[in-house]
Every structure is written in C-alpha cells, then in structure tokens.
Structure 1
C-alpha cells in the first residue's frame, strides 16, 4: 500500500478470520479429544506443554504466544487450541481400523506427558469416522459400540453423513462419537467432527454453572423470604431505633446478595455464552431425524436447556433481589432521614427556647444589676455630700442624694448596656 499508513492491528485482525482452521480428515479416521479446564492464567503452561511434546518427536514447537497449533508428529497428528479458561487437545490418526473404539489414538500419546498437562480433564471423547459409502450400520449394529446404552443421533450435513453418540462415559473415562461418511468431502469431515466435539465441550462447560445455581438457589430463596419479612416490618415500626436496626439488617442482606452475585456472575455469563455456542453448532449440523432415535437437538432441549433455564432463573432472581433490597433500603433510609430531621428540628427548637430563656434571665439579671449598682452608687454620693457638708459647705445632703438618683441610674444603665454590647461584639469576631 504505497503512501498509506497501516493500522497496527490490521494484519492481526485479518489473520484472526483464518485462525483455528478445520482439520483435513479423510475417512476412515480416528481421534481422541480432551478439554482441560485450567483457568485463564495457564496459557503459558499449555504452550510449554505442547512445545515439550513437539520436542519429543523432533518437530517445530508452536511460535511464542500462539493460541492454536496443528502438527503431524508421526504416529499421530496433534491439534491444540487455547481458549479463555480451557485448552483442547486433539490426537488424530488416519487409516483403516478394525473396530471404531477398540484401539483409541490416545493410547499412543506418552502417558507421562498427559499426566503433566496443566488443568483438569473436563471433556474426553473418542471419535471414529467410517467410510460407509458401500453400506450403513443398522441400529442393532450400533448398540454394541456404545455398550448397549441409548443412542442419540441423526442424519447431518444435508444427508451427507450420520452421527451417533450416547453422551455417557465408558470404562476408560471417555465418551464415544461415531460418524458415518455417506457423501462428505474431506474438508467437510473435519468441520463436522469439530462441530460435534465442540457441542460436547461447550455443553459440559455450560453445565459448570448448574451446581452453583443449585447451591446458591437455596440461599437466594432464604434471602428472598427474609427480605419479604423485613419489608413487612418496615410498615409496622414507628420509632427511630427500630428503623436503624432494620436498616442494619437490610444492609447485611444487601451485602449477602452482592457477594453471591459477584461469586456467580462469571460462571453464569460463561454458561450463557457456551449455551449459545451449543445451539449454534447444533443448527449448523442441519439434522434430519432417524426414526426412533433422539436427535442432538432434542437431547439438548430435554437435558441441557432445563439446566440453563435454572441458571438463568437464579441469575434473574439475584438481579431482582438486588433491586428490591436497594429499593427497600432506600425507602427505609428515607424514613430514617425524615425521623432524624424531625429530631434535629426538635433539638433546635429546644435550643432556641433555652436561648430565649437565658436571654430573659440575662435581661432580668441586668436589671437587678442596674438597681444594685445604682443603690450603692447613690449611697456613695450621699457619703460624698456628707463629707462636703462636714467641711463647711452649705449643702443639703438629702437633696443632693435625691437629685443624684436619676443621674446615677442613667449612668449605670448606659454603662452596663455598653459593656454588654462590647462583649457581644468580641464574641462575634
């Protein structure tokens, strides 16, 4: 692109469209597929394990940071894919075989290497692809291949193949999947096998949420009943202390709801995503019914769909419960706030009354102070007049004392008032 600047993600995004291609599986072919749940932090360990296996057989290891790899190791072909929380490994072998599940490919994989893989086995499937263009198995021939278990299956890929499984674990811990090629192209075989394996893988991963739904469903019911009781009590209490105690109980219930929601949110969200993938992969099979046999879609509708509805129900109840707890808490907090505001108003009114009483008392004390000070001041004036008269001045002491009374009272009143104003001014600074 001369003269154009390329976006740094352009090539990565273009390559992502072509990532994880289907395997070419010319029938007859067999495979053993396992999915190990290792969490989101184990991608480096998976990459290292795949590199170790490649080194054993003298082939190139996957590039640094790869999340999928397919390589021929000689005795078998390896297909590895790293997903968000699990890794899948496929071990494939092409060529004729005597019986579909008598000699599984995983028997040729080094056992010590398998034991060293990070994570725990969640899915394990033996797959056999038969070329049945010359003739098809009848239902009686299918039964021994699945240990006499009830078989589910259908005509798939627009009539180009048949697929059968019993969705059970056999003595070796693996389930079994048989594909009869009636008119498939080589690439269609690999695509069909991958879809069938993914249906089983995503079905199992989706069901990981079911035990949590069963466990926490009881807790949700208990909290729901407790919330109904608390809501009823909201209408019955009539004092602030009970309201505050009830608000504390509501806060505890809210904390419990949020704890459960935080614990289950990832698993429930993952279950919804995995279930959507299962339904999509089944629709891509383009099933046609075989008389008397349960189809893949019917099996999932009867077995997986109810479990997913249970998970969805618990998730919905948690969301509704969180909303109800919050709404009830808001209502109760509003009542508590109103009660506290009323208490504050009562307290302020009481303080105002006391302030007015203190003001009246202060004014009374000021009046008494003026009287007392005036009384003693007039007495001092009388003593002063007597002293002047004793010195020979011709004055009437009683007249002087009497005339001084209004002057003394006025002077004392003005002095006390001035003092009070000065004190008030100093307090406000």
Structure 2
C-alpha cells in the first residue's frame, strides 16, 4: 500500500493572515452575571497610538501584567479582580473596565473607580461617550418601569427593550449624569456569557456611534449661512450674465471663479465629516437591529429613539451635503456658460483680426507687385543704358554698329528677361515657405 502523498506548502497571499485576523479583531468580552462595567470613548486627535499604548502600559505596570505589543490596535488583560479592554478605531479610542460579581443595587461603586486616580488623570480627554452599566439577573430587576427609573435613573423617562428576542432586558435614559456618565441597566434572563458581552458592547457602540454621527450636525449648521450667501451671489451673477456687456464678462468670470473656490473650500472642509456621519448612522442602525428588540410595555424602544432623535439630524446633514454639491454644480455650469461667451467673443475678435491681416496681406501683395513692376523698369533702364554704352564703345573701335538700334532692340529683351527672372525668384521663395 502506497503512503499518501505529502502536499507541498501553499504559497499564501502576503495579506492572508492579516485579513483573516481582522475578523477576530476587537472581540467581545464574555460577561458573567452579575457584573459592573465602565466604558469610555474619546476622540484621539491629541493622542497618537504610541502615546495610548504607553498609557495602557503604565496601567499594566501598576497591575504587574505584560503590556500591549507595539503596533497593536486592541488589547485586553486582567488587572487583578478587574478586566480591562482598550481598542483604537479610525477616529476614536475606547476602553472598557469590567468588575465581575458583587454588584451593588446602584451606581455608587463603579468599575472605573477601582483604577488608580492618578492614571485616570492622564487620559487624553475629548471624551465623546462615557457610561456605567450594571449587568444583573433579570429576577433582581424591579418588575415596574417606574421603580427601575426611580432606583437607577433618578426618575427620568426610560428607553429600553427586550434583548435577543426576550433573552434579557436593557434600560437607559440616554442622559449624561452629574458625574459625566450615562447609565445602563441590563437584566439577564437566559443570555450566556458571550451573548451578554455582545449585547453590552452593542449598547455602548450605539451611543458612541450616535455621538460620532452627530458631530456633523454643528458643521451643517455652521456651513448653512455660507451656502445661503453663495446661493444669493450665484443668483445675482446669473441674472447679470444675461445683460452683461462684453467689457463686463471678465469681471463676472472672475467673481464666479472666486465663488467656485469658496464652495470647493467648504466641500473640502465638510465632505469627510458628512461622509463619516452617514457611515456612523448606518452602523448605529445595524447595532440596533442586532439587539433583536422586543417591546417592553410603556417604554420607548431603542429603534424608535434612534429614528426619532438621530434620523432628523442626519437628514439635515444629508440635505446640507447635497445642497453643497448642487451649488457647486450650478456654479460650474454658470462658469462654463460665461466662459463659452468669453471664448466666442475672443474668437470673433480673432476672426476680425485675421480678416484685417488678410486685407493687409492683400495690400502688401499689390504693393509688392507695383514695386516689382517698378523694379523691372529700373533694372531694364540701367541694363539698356549699359548696352547702349557698350554699343557706342564697339562703334568707337571701328566696328560698324548702330548704337541707337542696338539700344532699342535691347529694351524688350532685357525687360522680358528681368520680368521672367523676378517671377521665377518669387515662385522659388513661395515654394520654400
């Protein structure tokens, strides 16, 4: 019996493992019930990846655990009784602190408070979303919505729903408390550790990406007056174009060019923010859908809150972004029309110039022909004179020659010869040109 053939190793694409590992990047942290969580998301405009890794390394040194590897963008470890997770995204970074077990009935003792105060003081700031969460057994939650609101949320109106098709319940008020943190309470009915971790992470991401999407709203509000001014100026310029004189066209074209530059500048300042807002809005919608909500009587669900409170802002941003592009296209069309008018004017002027040059060339040709005739007469006159002198000289030496007859005969011969020579010379010059 022959042994099975040994296959040679396959040649991998250089990015195969990196792309495959991307599917496992930033994994969810499994959560035991009960647990306390603290989540902070901050824009990392003022902190490089190396600075953040150094900061995480300082926390690891405090707990005497290995620091993250250089170049990593996500890291999780256990800090004694705590678990810590850090992740760096495109625009923001996040950190999650988890304290398993021993959950109090309120937010008096948070997971974040168990980290060193001097380390927390070194965080880069620009906090976009910060939240504390309690993961409790669903039996430990009060049955009444009013009681849940009074115990955990200071009596505020709640947003909440069943999670995972009824495997748990989640409640929040989407408000920032006096301590600067939002609050979530999750009741775990039948969720496993990994499902509970996924659900809490999705809740944190809904608020984080909601805030990231809303970063475009102040930009849209600030750019709207500039667009209104540009729209009015464009209307004035297009109205002036119809009655513009030839001398006014360069000035109008210069103003249109400046207006186009202003609009393009506004586009370059806002295009990324509006595009990012659209992407973040889609992520929020997907995260809400992944909750697989079931309605809790008397509580506004997450889907309804997002649609009512986030979608109008995103529609405003989309409207402003669309208005910018439409305005840029209108300015481009107006500039093209005016530039066409200017080009037609220039072509008409060029045609007039060419016609004038043609007339001048024709006059020069007539003058040249006149001068050529005079040249033939002058050359003939001097040449015949030389022939006459030659005849007189020959007669003086005794040769019987009639000098006057010789001169008369030489006139047509010399004239025709000179005229033929000049014409041939002119044709030679034309052929060379």
TM-score when normalising by structure 1: 0.88
Residues 1:269 and 1:17: Cα distance change in structure 2 (over 3 Å): same
Residue pairs, 1:6-405, within 5 angstroms: 6-7=11-12, 8-39=14-45, 42-118=48-124, 120-133=126-139, 136-141=142-147, 142-143=149-150, 145-237=152-244, 239=246, 241-379=247-385, 398-405=404-411
- C-alpha contact (below 8 Å) 1:80/1:88 kept by paired residues: yes
- C-alpha contact (below 8 Å) 2:38/2:112 kept by paired residues: yes
Q: How far apart in 1 are the matches of 2:406 and 2:391?
A: 7
Residues 1:173 and 1:392: Cα distance change in structure 2 (over 3 Å): same
How far the C-alpha of 1:53 sits from its partner, in A, is: 0.8
Helix, strand or coil at the partner of 1:127: strand
Helix, strand or coil at the partner of 1:26: coil
- C-alpha contact (below 8 Å) 1:75/1:93 kept by paired residues: yes
Q: How far apart in 1 are the matches of 2:294 and 2:316?
A: 29
Helix, strand or coil at the partner of 2:133: strand
Residues 1:223 and 1:103: Cα distance change in structure 2 (over 3 Å): same
Q: How far apart in 2 are the matches of 1:364 and 1:109?
A: 108
- C-alpha contact (below 8 Å) 1:69/1:80 kept by paired residues: yes
How far the C-alpha of 1:266 sits from its partner, in A, is: 1.8
Structure 1, unaligned runs of 5 or more = none
How far the C-alpha of 1:253 sits from its partner, in A, is: 2.4
Q: How far apart in 1 are the matches of 2:101 and 2:210?
A: 30
Helix, strand or coil at the partner of 2:129: strand
- C-alpha contact (below 8 Å) 1:370/1:409 kept by paired residues: yes
The count of residues paired between Structure 1 and Structure 2 equals: 426
How far the C-alpha of 1:46 sits from its partner, in A, is: 2.0
TM-score when normalising by structure 2: 0.88
Residues 1:60 and 1:382: Cα distance change in structure 2 (over 3 Å): closer
Residues 1:164 and 1:398: Cα distance change in structure 2 (over 3 Å): same
Helix, strand or coil at the partner of 1:198: helix
Structure 2, unaligned runs of 5 or more = 1-5
Q: How far apart in 2 are the matches of 1:407 and 1:343?
A: 50
Q: How far apart in 2 are the matches of 1:381 and 1:175?
A: 122
What's the CA shift string for 1:241-261, capped at 9, x where partnerless?
Answer: 433333333322222222222
Q: How far apart in 1 are the matches of 2:360 and 2:165?
A: 94
How far the C-alpha of 1:57 sits from its partner, in A, is: 0.5
Q: How far apart in 2 are the matches of 1:269 and 1:331?
A: 31
How far the C-alpha of 1:378 sits from its partner, in A, is: 4.5
Residues 1:369 and 1:10: Cα distance change in structure 2 (over 3 Å): closer
- Worse-matched range after superposition: 262-271 or 327-336: 327-336
- Worse-matched range after superposition: 144-153 or 158-167: 144-153
CA RMSD of aligned residues (A): 2.8
Helix, strand or coil at the partner of 2:310: helix
How far the C-alpha of 1:95 sits from its partner, in A, is: 2.1
- C-alpha contact (below 8 Å) 1:143/1:151 kept by paired residues: no
Q: How far apart in 2 are the matches of 1:59 and 1:5?
A: 38
Whether 1:428 aligns to 2:412 is no
- Worse-matched range after superposition: 79-88 or 133-142: 133-142
- C-alpha contact (below 8 Å) 1:30/1:100 kept by paired residues: no
